[in-house]
Structure 1
Amino acid sequence: MAPRESPRPKPRERSHRHHHDKKRSQGGTPRKSRHAATSSQSDSQVLSADSLAQLDRLNQRETVRPHEITPKKPRRKRQREVVDEKIVVERSRKQHKRKKRRVVSGALLEEGNSQKLRGIRGGGKYDDEYSDGGSRKKKFWIIGGIILVIVIIIIVVAVVVSKKNSGKSSISTSSSTLSAGKPANSNLAGISESSIPAAAKGTDLDPFSWYDTYDFNVTYTNDTVGDLPIMGLNSTWDDSQSPNSNVPAISSSWGSYADRPARGVNLGGWLSLEPFITPSLFTGSGVIDEWTLTSSLGSNAQSTLEKHYDTFVTEQTFIDIADAGLDHVRIPFSYWAVVTYDGDPYVYRTSWRYLLRGIEWARKHGLRINLDVHGLPGSQNGWNHSGRQGTIGWLNGTDGTTNAQRSLDIHNQLSQFFAQDRYKNILSFYGLVNEPKMTVLNETAVMDWTQSAFTLVRKNGITANVVFGDGFLGLTKWQGELQGNSGLVLDAHQYVIFNADQISYNHTEKVNYACSGWSEQAEQSINVATGFGPTIFAEFSQADTDCAPNLNNVGAGTRWEGNFNVGDSSTAVTSPDCPTKNSQCSCTSANADPSTYSTAYKQFLQMFAEAQMTSFEEGWGWFYWTWATEDATQWSYQLGLAAGILPAKAYSRDYNCTPTATGFSGLPETY
């Protein structure tokens, strides 16, 4: 038995999923929001300061506050004919007396007013429409009447055609929402594209630019909390659901995680991509991570990734997770959901909207959330799931200090947003950073940053448990560290297959180590006399090999077969590490369709998974990595259920580490 707390192993023995070192740097300043106000309008395009101030005051009275958004039937806009600023202000006052509707904030109005307010100052095309010539007025009303008749005819024809083409509902026929291959976006019916301010059209705030609008509130808003948009959220929420009768509804207190441990699953590969989870996205030459993927896709990156966000995880995902007897969901996402910087190729903020929708689906089905920042500026571990494979530039190197502050700034925004009442009950865990590689990073720097981040998010109102990673240092390292921070929780990710000593255990040894070694470590860690205290295990899998294609980096090979190489001779594995340690070691059977698994192998895989679940419940619980993969069955809870190698209900298991595993008849040790 080689417990995790043994003297620090070589980096290759402690890694999560990847190793690679490649020179890189990230610099520059944050990229401006695509809807930020500009100052380029000419004097002929804007109101005077006094008049604009009056408009802003009126607009502010009508601005909808966060989470008071309710879809409203759009009103036809009355054509504005203006002579001077006094008329504009007077008409704004009259409009204010009518039924309230969502309006554009002053800043956005300044950016988008060139089309709507041109000609207000002298020389505009509307000037002579209010001249004293009666004939001009008469012509205006005649032309207006003709236009009105034409519009009515067009509307009638459109409605008839729409009903004829669809027996379900009348849906928007905008080219932006019904283009080839896109969902029908039926809840845009009745919402006029003209209700979207000109400056916001085509941005991430414009629902007509979204790939899919199902279950989003499509009423336009530019309201933010922590400078993060509340796009797509409905004004009310319901915390009355629970996923099963063994756990309380979201609205009720969970109680102690030491007494009722979490049983959860990750949504890895959804908002933070990984090649081994969705290999179909990583087919281009040199495409090894999200940085190179979005670089290669160029202008197609946004549409490609949004389609992935929309289809890889759906509401059915959360229904199935609850049906599996699970009660928590860990959602990894990366910093570009919040901000991007000069030189970043990442898709800016599209994943933010899907993160918010995912949380609402989890709420609908009674599932609590573990919020996980999976990638921070500079990369905290240099592995592809941080966004960019290569050099670690977080708290390290030329831009280390800059990236440390950027990361705190991101948490300043996130913590303000998720401190809202809407998230008080459903947010159980708030993760600071996934898997900082402290075998390379300065330990003191990481601990200092962790303390600063914890203090910041608590100050901003986060009441959930705050999670930090063990940094691959071993659980005993954290005894006595970062004490005095109520609700701070240590996170350990346990995998035998990335440790050279443990991957070579035979099947019986793997099960017994999961039962004895990991349960002992969990018990020691949650006791402040021997460990840090509160400890969760937010990643594990039932894989007994590292054979899944691209698991160790794209084309990196495997330890199992002895061809692992990421370009670093100190971490390369040149001879097989499977139990027989010879040429018999093969990934063929491990990567085969699960329908070909022998009875003994299926028995082992389920027992191995259940042994880990039992051990990690000696701590604060567990989160399986991950829910869905395209091919890698032993890494997918969804595929594992279908293959019959996981318990049908996570709370009702066949094996609880008693009796001790004694062997698996006829099961080869070469796969």
Structure 2
Amino acid sequence: MRFLLIPLLACLTAVDAWMPSDRGLFGETRNANHTRLPAGKGRTVRKWLQVSGKVRGVNLGSMFIIEPWMASTEWANMGCGSSASEFDCVLKLGQTAANAAFQAHWARWITQDDIETMASYGINTIRIPVGYWIDESIVYSDSEHFPQGGLAYLDQLVGWASNKGFYIIIDLHGAPGAQVAKQAFTGQYAPTPGFYQTYQYERAYSFLQFITNRIHTNANYRNVGMVGVVNEPIAGQPSLISEYYPTAYGKIRATESSLGVTANSHIHIQFMDASWGAGDPKASLTNTFFVAYDNHRYLKWDPSVATTQAGYLGASCADNVASDGDTPLIVGEWSISPADAVQTSPAFDIADSANAAFYTSWWAAQVLAYEKQEGWIFWAWKAQLADYRWSYSEAVQKGIVPTDPDQAYQEGVC
């Protein structure tokens, strides 16, 4: 999301802000960009080009935290077999062999060609899920098993994306001790969520300080404008709100202060919004300067939505993703996959070309809903499921999603 919290922060007129024009990601006005054209005798004129002004992104799922369900062929080729998570695979292979397997994966899963293709599809933002272990100094070497060497590949990836003008969000997707039980996206298939205690929070602060320092001192990270402090925390953890969130905010800002970073160059600090269900992220914050919010909209798992084509379209057209008032808001994860119980039924079977129009309409309806706020980031760029409902690149290739996201407004779906 390389348009640093875009115009959504225009309301903060009392302070400086890292606005799109400051980094050349958007133009000098909310909905315009420009190029300088030669006008003779060394003079130039501006040609104004309309742009959306919205975050339109993809998640780089299974790049730095592999989820076997969506990358089963890759997982098998790496030798991970039936391992449930990265932790388990490293333990199985041994550190040396695992490092080689994972480094080969990082080199091929998302390439510079992928970044070029994203840009050609009208994508302007990438969200990169990472685990805390990318900072190897905070890993317990005697009891934690994670692949090593990922930082160099992250450096390379954000460099490619920055060179292409993308807005970039780095998300702490895998927290120390695991913030959710039995989920591969945490990097470890933990039997219980072990994150919600002070000593694990301390390790997460170390990661956040580490990545903040890198954002401000490594030129490859120049288009990283937002850091998510933890992905999809669970409900019922009071210390998340009272302890972790305000301290995480303070640690990031203190790191920026120590580096002499001025307010207009601060990164945005992103929390899951109140509607996520893990508590009000603002409750213990004493400062919300450059705070942003995340909301994940998987209607697939929303029991209130009727599992019909009309039901999904109606729910998306009427969706108010910022109903809790937490703005600026980006919908950081979503898909066009319906409920498991109906996804292969005649009305939703992707093998039936008659359903293609519905999926295009549902994509458009969600785009319209999420662009009422700051925009969206689809899960994911690629998957090995032979199912375009989870793969933006495949959806475009199959003609379900247009190469110009502006076409969502021409569908007449809502």
TM-score (norm 2): 0.78
1:222 aligned partner: none
1:454 aligned partner: 249
2:53 aligned partner: 260
Q: 1:425, CA displacement in angstroms?
A: 4.7
Distance 1:285 1:276, change over 3 A: closer
Distance 1:372 1:605, change over 3 A: same
1:422-470 residue CA offsets vs partner (Å, 9 max, x unmatched): 3675122111111111x24x13433421111111111212712111113
1:387 equivalent among 183, 187, 202? 187
Q: 1:587, CA displacement in angstroms?
A: 3.4
Kept after mapping to 1: 8 A contact 2:72/2:384 = yes
Secondary structure of 1:381 counterpart: coil
Kept after mapping to 1: 8 A contact 2:129/2:173 = yes
> 5+ unaligned residues in a row in structure 2: which ranges?
1-22, 35-51, 257-264
1:265-286 residue CA offsets vs partner (Å, 9 max, x unmatched): 1111111111122112444564
1:24 aligned partner: none
The reply to whether residue 445 of structure 1 matches residue 240 of structure 2 is: yes
Kept after mapping to 2: 8 A contact 1:373/1:432 = yes
The reply to whether residue 507 of structure 1 matches residue 309 of structure 2 is: yes
d(CA) in 2 for partners of 1:494 and 1:463? 28
d(CA) in 2 for partners of 1:451 and 1:307? 38
1:231-283 residue CA offsets vs partner (Å, 9 max, x unmatched): xxxxxxxx76779x97659xxxxxxxxx9321111111111111122112444
Secondary structure of 1:329 counterpart: strand
Kept after mapping to 2: 8 A contact 1:627/1:636 = yes
Kept after mapping to 1: 8 A contact 2:132/2:176 = yes
2:63 equivalent among 270, 276, 280? 270
1:316 aligned partner: 113
How does 1:314-393 map onto structure 2 within 5 Å? 314-339=111-136, 340-341=139-140, 342-348=142-148, 350-382=149-181, 383-389=183-189, 390-393=191-194
Q: 1:649, CA displacement in angstroms?
A: 1.1
Kept after mapping to 1: 8 A contact 2:330/2:373 = yes
1:541 aligned partner: 335
Distance 1:589 1:447, change over 3 A: farther
d(CA) in 1 for partners of 2:71 and 2:118? 19
1:298-331 residue CA offsets vs partner (Å, 9 max, x unmatched): 2321111111110111100100110011111111
Secondary structure of 1:652 counterpart: helix
1:153-203 residue CA offsets vs partner (Å, 9 max, x unmatched): xxxxxxxxxxxxxxxxxxxxxxxxxxxxxxxxxxxxxxxxxxxxxxxxxxx
d(CA) in 2 for partners of 1:589 and 1:269? 30
Secondary structure of 2:406 counterpart: coil
Kept after mapping to 2: 8 A contact 1:242/1:365 = no
Q: 1:513, CA displacement in angstroms?
A: 0.5
Pairs aligned (count): 355
1:587 equivalent among 344, 351, 360? 344
Q: 1:387, CA displacement in angstroms?
A: 0.7
Kept after mapping to 2: 8 A contact 1:380/1:386 = yes
How does 1:587-606 map onto structure 2 within 5 Å? 587=344, 596-599=351-354, 601-606=355-360
Q: 1:410, CA displacement in angstroms?
A: 1.5
2:272 equivalent among 465, 469, 486? 469
2:363 aligned partner: 609
Q: 1:483, CA displacement in angstroms?
A: 5.9
d(CA) in 2 for partners of 1:410 and 1:472? 26
How does 1:53-92 map onto structure 2 within 5 Å? none
Secondary structure of 1:372 counterpart: strand
Letter in 2 for 1:452: T
d(CA) in 2 for partners of 1:623 and 1:375? 18
d(CA) in 1 for partners of 2:25 and 2:284? 37
d(CA) in 2 for partners of 1:247 and 1:295? 51
Larger Rg: 1
d(CA) in 1 for partners of 2:282 and 2:113? 41
1:532 aligned partner: 326
2:373 equivalent among 619, 633, 654? 619
1:72 aligned partner: none
Q: 1:477, CA displacement in angstroms?
A: 4.9
Kept after mapping to 2: 8 A contact 1:628/1:638 = yes
Letter in 2 for 1:384: A
2:73 equivalent among 277, 280, 293? 280
d(CA) in 2 for partners of 1:352 and 1:651? 35
Q: 1:404, CA displacement in angstroms?
A: 1.1
Distance 1:357 1:248, change over 3 A: farther
Q: 1:590, CA displacement in angstroms?
A: 9.3
Secondary structure of 1:405 counterpart: helix
The answer to which structure has the higher strand fraction is 2
How does 1:291-306 map onto structure 2 within 5 Å? 291-298=87-94, 299-306=96-103
Q: 1:638, CA displacement in angstroms?
A: 0.5
1:501-531 residue CA offsets vs partner (Å, 9 max, x unmatched): 33x4211110110110x2x233x34xxxxx2
Kept after mapping to 2: 8 A contact 1:424/1:463 = no
Q: 1:472, CA displacement in angstroms?
A: 6.1
How does 1:137-148 map onto structure 2 within 5 Å? none
How does 1:420-439 map onto structure 2 within 5 Å? 420=217, 422=219, 425-437=222-234, 439=235
Distance 1:310 1:588, change over 3 A: farther
Q: 1:289, CA displacement in angstroms?
A: 1.4
Q: 1:654, CA displacement in angstroms?
A: 5.0
The root-mean-square deviation of aligned C-alpha atoms, in Å, is: 2.8
Q: 1:420, CA displacement in angstroms?
A: 2.3
1:407 equivalent among 187, 204, 208? 204
Kept after mapping to 2: 8 A contact 1:435/1:471 = no
> Once the two structures are aligned, what percentage of the paired residues are identical?
22
TM-score (norm 1): 0.49
Kept after mapping to 1: 8 A contact 2:130/2:171 = yes
Distance 1:476 1:392, change over 3 A: closer
1:493 aligned partner: 296
1:289 aligned partner: 85
Kept after mapping to 1: 8 A contact 2:227/2:270 = yes
Distance 1:507 1:402, change over 3 A: same
